[in-house]
Amino acid sequence: MSERAEPRTLFEKIWDRHRILEREDGQVLLFVDRNLIHDGSAPAFEALRQRGLKPRAPERMLGTPDHYMPTDVRRVEEIADAERRGMVEALARDTAEHGITAFGLEDPRRGIVHVIGPEQGFSQPGMVIVCPDSHTSTHGALGALAFGVGMTETTHVLATQTLWQRKPKTMRITVDGRLGAGVTAKDVILAIIARIGTAGATGHVVEYAGPAIRGLSMEGRLTLCNMSIEAGARAGMIAPDDTTFAYLAGRPYAPQGHQWEAALDRWRALPSDPDAIFDAEVTLDGSAIAPMVTWGTSPEDALPIDGAVPDPAASSSADRREAMRRALAYMGLTPGMPLEAVPVDRVFIGSCTNGRIEDLRAAAAVAEGRRVAPQVTAWVVPGSGLVKAQAEAEGLHRIFLDAGFEWREAGCSMCLGTNGEIAAPGERCASTSNRNFVGRQGPGARTHLMGPAMAAAAAVTGHLTDVRRLMAGG
């Protein structure tokens, strides 16, 4: 029986198609379709320059500044900090020098690289996509193998359009049933990470499957795959289907005309064969997932919003008790306190996790006719210039501004604060981003992760809130 007759997973089909050669020790030289870059990629170009090399396939690259420019500026010259301005300028210089497509600060198409790759149709099913950023896993939502790499690996891809990889294991996470009202992709991924832990998928490529996943919009799928890295996964992916194809059709870099038809034929063959075997299987009941919020300093520290701050004493492991105590001390929380009683100072709606149009619509639906609580500073930071334009065309910015939110320019912003936008020590932030690590949003800042509607609910009530009550018209 030939090897081709073996049932294969989506991951294995993409892997096989990109395998240039395999060494005796099992290392595979993998071809890379898309090499995305941003304003933190300068060291890779510098390394390339030092070796006297040039990018092997500039046409396979797309760059945009997202990490370093403040989200209250529209022009490079307006970036006050010289080092940050230098990062944005370096991207413009490096891309111009090598003929790489870049959406600069003045380009309406610019934004967070993980938002614009799918938005432009540059990221497509069946591709291998890398970027020097761990949230590259986002692009797996289109049915691609997408993962973050370091700077040395980025240099390697620039020079050769390839990467050495050892074949990872596969894990299928099936979410059965239907999600309840007010439950979003963000809640699903937080529930998954709470279940398997931040190292639960280490060494694996995850495929998300099941009716609850199939039912997600493309935006929801991007949110879900985005946080695969928070479960330790090398990558997360979802089989392409009609939702994927409808999303991609007509986008600027998507195939057009007869090439579109040919691409559809290839893409329809990508989903895992029915009897394909995964190295690990996890199953969740989607109907049992509630809106989630994190209470600690790891994404696995997530609970349904109607719960209470957990008590370390209730944990059976001494190590876990110690870790929980440390997290609660940092977060300034007391065991047993209802999560809904936790007050917030800041609200951040945006990031590569939740900065897309559907996210802004969900937040606006909660904000409409309400006011941001007096003690709260609330920001909405669209994921791209086009998301911003779309939101403005729909009047969402009016809703946010009338409610007292700040309506800002696209960028990574407070997700990690490389652009200087951070919370003050001790400030508590309801955030739609992806990491609640110690100091992630600034030294001493306290982050609670949640979905966009939940973050909007926290903004208008001034404390963590079960958005389902506001949705019911309360």
Partner 1 sequence: MEPFQRLDAVALPMPRPNIDTDQITPARFLHKPRSDNHGAYLFHDVRRGPDGGMDPDFVLNRPDYAEAKVIVAEHNFACGSSRENAVWGLYDHGFRAAIAPSFGDIFSSNALKNGLLPVRLPEDVVAGLLAQLQDQPGARVQVDLEAQTVTLPDGSVHRFEIDPFARHCLLNGIDELDYTRTLSPEIDAFMNRYGHENR
What strands, in cross-sheet order, belong to the sheet with 34-38?
101-102, 61-64, 34-38, 128-131, 145-148
Q: What is the amino acid identity at position 397?
A: H
DSSP-derived letter for residue 368 is T
Closest distance to partner 1 from the beta carbon of 315 (Å):
13
Distance between CA 123 and CA 141 in Å, rounded? 10
Piece of the chain touching partner 1 by CB under 8 A; list 159-167, 185-193, 236-244, 361-369: 159-167
Q: What is the Cβ-side half-sphere exposure of residue 233, based on CA atoms within 13 angstroms?
A: 32
Q: Give the sign of the dihedral formed by CA 271, CA 276, CA 280, CA 286.
A: positive
Question: Does residue number 203 form part of the binding site for partner 1 (CB under 8 A)?
Answer: yes
Longest dimension (CA), the chain: 70
Piece of the chain touching partner 1 by CB under 8 A; list 212-220, 270-278, 434-442, 466-474: 434-442
Residues 310-339 contacting partner 1, CB under 8 A: 319, 323, 326
Q: What is the number of other CB atoms lying within 10 angstroms of the CB of residue 325?
A: 14
Piece of the chain touching partner 1 by CB under 8 A; list 102-110, 150-158, 238-246, 391-399: 150-158
Choice from 13, 34, 38, 84 touching partner 1 (CB under 8 A): 84
257-265 long-range contacts (CB < 8 A, ≥24 apart) are: 263/124, 263/125
7 or 164: whose CB is closer to partner 1? 164
Binding mask 37-56 for partner 1 (x = CB under 8 A): ---x--x--x----x----x
Q: How far is CA 87 from the centre of its chain?
A: 22
Distance between CA 202 and CA 444 in Å, rounded? 28
72 or 402: whose CB is closer to partner 1? 72
Beta bridge partners of 97: none
Q: What is the number of other CB atoms lying within 10 angstroms of the CB of residue 133?
A: 24
Question: Does residue number 420 form part of the binding site for partner 1 (CB under 8 A)?
Answer: yes
Phi, psi of 469 (to 5 degrees): -70, -40
**Is residue 352 annotated as involved in ligand binding?**
yes
Closest distance to partner 1 from the beta carbon of 165 (Å):
9
Binding mask 210-229 for partner 1 (x = CB under 8 A): -------------------x
**Is residue 225 annotated as involved in ligand binding?**
no
Phi-psi region of 439 (alpha: psi -120 to 50; beta: other; left: phi over 0): left
Closest distance to partner 1 from the beta carbon of 58 (Å):
14
- The answer to whether 110 and 37 have CB atoms below 8 angstroms apart is no
**Is residue 429 annotated as involved in ligand binding?**
no
Question: Does residue number 108 form part of the binding site for partner 1 (CB under 8 A)?
Answer: no
180 or 444: whose CB is closer to partner 1? 444
- The answer to whether 427 and 419 have CB atoms below 8 angstroms apart is no
Binding site for partner 1 (CB under 8 A): 20-21, 23, 25, 27, 29, 31, 40, 43, 46, 51, 56-57, 67-68, 83-84, 86-87, 132-134, 136, 147-153, 155-156, 159-162, 164, 166, 198-199, 202-203, 229-230, 232, 234, 259, 262, 266, 298, 300, 319, 323, 326, 416-418, 420, 422, 425, 435, 437-440, 443-444
Annotated binding site: 352, 412, 415
Annotated binding site for [4Fe-4S] cluster: 352, 412, 415
